[in-house]
Each structure stands twice: as C-alpha cells, then as structure tokens.
Structure 1
C-alpha cells in the first residue's frame, strides 16, 4: 500500500486524515515504478494537446539524448484543447500560481481569450493589471490563510477555497489551474481536494519538485488523490536545468522537476 507523506507538522489534521483515508481505500497495484511508467506514457485521452508559454534555455548539463548546449523549452505547460475539456475561446478563466516574472503562459492564455488571475508573493511588486485581462496579486497559495516570513520578506498566504469565495467563483468553472509554487504544491493541492475546490476545474497543470524522499511521497499522495477524484494524467514532461537536477554516482545529472497536466473526466464524458 502507498506510504503517504504526512505533509508538514502544521498541516490541518483533518486533511492528513483525509489523505490517509483516500489512500487506504485504494491499494496500489504494483510498485512505484509502475506509477512512474504511467506518467511517462500518459493516457491518450486528449487528442489535441497544445504548449502554452515557456522560453528556450541552453541545456547546462549532459542529459540522456540531449547534448550540452542544445536548447530546451522551459516554463511551458501542456493544455488540453479537446472539446468540453479545453478552455472556451471566449470567457475562459484561469488561476495561475507562481509567476517569478515569467508571463509567457499567462500572455498565451490571454491571447487565447482567457481572463487570468495571477498570484506570486515572492516578486515584491504590488497588485496590478499586467495587461487588460491579466490581474496580479502578491499572494501565495497555501493550506492556510496567514503570513509567513521567507527570504527576509513577509508573504501573505491564502487557501484556494478562500480565493474562490472572495472572487465569487465557488460555482464558476475554472478552465485551467496552473501551479508552480516550489514544493508547496504538496500541501496546497490536498487542501484543495479536501475542500472540494477542484470539482469545477477542467484541468490542472502543476510542477513537482521531487528532490527528496518526502517530496516523492508527497507527489504519490497528490497522484492518488487526483486519480481518486476523477482526474487523469494526459501529459508529463521534465524541466531540465541545474536548478532541477542532481548529480548521481555515475557523474551524470538526474532531473527532479516535472510538470504534469491532469484533466477532469467529469467534463471529458460530455
């Protein structure tokens, strides 16, 4: 059975119990290698996949099949454009957490016809309209509402459920939920699921940072929680650069940052 990472010591006890309950009722078939294989070869449910955002960077280490110096796309997300799953051409709504001054995904979404609500507490800039349909707030995504001190800054943190209530979006379809929050996904996403916040989300794209055993356990928990709540992985990709790689005993680098796209099968069957 899946060994569940209990998240941080401060995590809401009810959420941790919910995660344990969800996983205890769903025996893992085979070992984790099978899960990794499934993610490496996602189900071909979505026939129309598109790449949004990202920029080309030089590969700064030798990776299998990618020689040093060859450019690779980084910061991109895969979007399913299949009917009923893909964002509407007009009136689509996207929540995007984690910007770090890279607006390529959000600007592509705006070009497509979407309104984008963007959030990042680390940029030290006030709330503003980045463009006509992209509104930014210096807030971080978490499993609690409050303030933390990080990098000598005070960061305002909030739960997804709080934002939905504030924006009157509790019953609104969220076309895409994009998350790149440097490891905090292992606490924020379970909180979303526990509160039923993903029921109206068509698809979710998120980066994972699997650089420790605990973060690997956190990802397996997210994987099972999503699949047990009607989501299916349709795309996965590594993000190769030195900030997301570690050297192994052979002297080569192993990537530990991956970006996944899961779709809500609630919409796929219509």
Structure 2
C-alpha cells in the first residue's frame, strides 16, 4: 500500500513537531514546520480553545508566539498565564452569545463568540493566524460551520489548525431523534446528520485549499487531525481590505 507523505520530506515527517506533550497523548498537538508555512519565532499568532495542562500554550509561548487561550469552563484556580499568553473566558462557535452544555446532569451556560468577531475585537484583523487548536469535543461542527459558510475569508488566513473528527456512524438512535422504537419495515435507512455534515465540511476544507498534515487516532471513536493551507499573496491583499472594512 502506498504511504501518503503529508508533511516533511519523508514518511517519518521530520518537520512535524509535538507541542503540549505534558497535556498527555490525547491532547498534545502536531505542528508542521515545513518552510512554506513560515512559522517564525517571536512573530507568530496562536489560538487555543480547550486547555488541559497548559502544555500546548506554554510550548508556543516559549517558542515566542502571541498566544490566546480560550476556555469558558476552566476553574479560576487553574488559570495560568505565561509572558506572551492571554486567557479569555470564551468559547468559539458559529454565533455570538450564550451556549449551554450539560455537566454532571446540570446545565452550564457560557459565553461564545465567532472567530471573525474575536479577531476584530483583539485588533488582529490584519494578522495571519499561524495555528488554531480546537480541543473541545462537540465544538468542531459549529466552528467549521462559521469559518466555512459564514466567513470563509477568515479561514483562508489560517495556516494550520487541529480539530477532532469523531467517527460517528449510523446507530439505532439515528432512526428517530427522540429514540422512539418504530419497527415499521417502511422506515427510511438511518442517516446520521452529524456524520454527514462533518463529511461535507471536510470536502469544503479541500475546496478552500487545505490539506491533511497529520492524523492521530483517539481510540476507536475519533481522530485528531491537523489541516494546513499555504498562504497566498492574494490572501494578504484580501485580508488587508477586510481589516479596514467597517462591520
């Protein structure tokens, strides 16, 4: 079987480096340092949504990047800042406002914003983003919906991002969203809308010039994948025009 070379000059991918090792194998990230991605020490911008043990954030901070760490559910006693790191009590989603998840059987509400709005609020509208880490299961679909369907121009200025892709296939519950048992032989085949939507988004990523750089299995339930897109000169011009356009 032919092996796919996805980053680096050999199948071992020497230009893939591990960031956040102290976060554990399920949360450490791979970063591609091939020259075309041009990640420069002391001149790079990183966003991290979902904090584990601050390993990923500290590694990029030490590398010299400006790091924005987002986690609306992180307890205050676990908040930690390095010299180049800023903590934001926010999540990323396809809308701006309040979101809700269930924690230990209780509803927990937290603030979310869109990537486009966040860049504008931080006065980073004309900046390229070297890396985005999205390490919050369940947030990937909303994030991709926003950057692919609402503001694709923003994603074109992101060099690399990592995201969790769940292996969600048809299940018995997909026959009926309310899980009502219906044994009628005339019912339609099961369709998992989340799986279908994610597959569509992966195709759109390809259409927007992204390629797979690395994939790490997370058991049998998901893969953590890194996508990359080499910046183009036309992207820079478009970015500068967007940054000075009033919202």
Both structures adopt the same fold (TM-score exceeding 0.5): yes
Who is 1:186 aligned against? Answer: 141
Cα RMSD of the aligned pairs, angstroms, is 2.6
* Unmatched 5+ stretches in structure 1: 1-36, 58-72, 241-254
Answering whether residue 46 of structure 2 is matched by residue 81 of structure 1, we say no
Who is 1:208 aligned against? Answer: 165
Answering whether residue 94 of structure 2 is matched by residue 143 of structure 1, we say yes
Match of 1:198 among 134, 137, 155: 155
Who is 2:206 aligned against? Answer: 227
Q: Give structure 1 regions of 4+ aligned residues with deviation exceeding 4 angstroms.
A: 126-129
**Counterpart of 1:236 in 2: which secondary structure?**
strand
Mapping for residues 113-262 of structure 1, pairs under 5 Å? 113-125=64-76, 130-150=81-101, 151=103, 152-194=107-149, 195=151, 196-212=153-169, 213-240=192-219, 255-262=220-227
Who is 1:50 aligned against? Answer: 17
Normalization by structure 1: what TM-score?
0.67
The 1:45/1:75 distance shift into structure 2, 3 A limit, reads: closer
Residues matched between the structures, number: 200
Name whichever of 167-176 and 123-132 sits farther off: 123-132
**Counterpart of 2:37 in 1: which secondary structure?**
coil
> Deviations 1:41-63 (Å, cap 9, x if unpaired)?
65434441111113486xxxxxx
Which whole-Å CA distance do the structure 2 matches of 1:214 and 1:43 have between them? 31
1:183–1:209 CA contact under 8 A, matched in 2: no
**Counterpart of 1:109 in 2: which secondary structure?**
helix
> Deviations 1:111-149 (Å, cap 9, x if unpaired)?
211111010112243996611111111111100001123
Normalization by structure 2: what TM-score?
0.73
**Structure number with higher strand proportion:** 1
> Deviations 1:51-102 (Å, cap 9, x if unpaired)?
1113486xxxxxxxxxxxxxxx221111011113042111211011111x32
> Deviations 1:208-255 (Å, cap 9, x if unpaired)?
233353332233122111110011101101123xxxxxxxxxxxxxx1
- Please state how far the C-alpha of 1:164 moved relative to its aligned partner: 0.8
The 1:123/1:129 distance shift into structure 2, 3 A limit, reads: closer
**Counterpart of 1:266 in 2: which secondary structure?**
coil
Which whole-Å CA distance do the structure 2 matches of 1:176 and 1:267 have between them? 16
* Unmatched 5+ stretches in structure 2: 10-14, 170-191, 234-247
Structure ID, larger Rg:
2
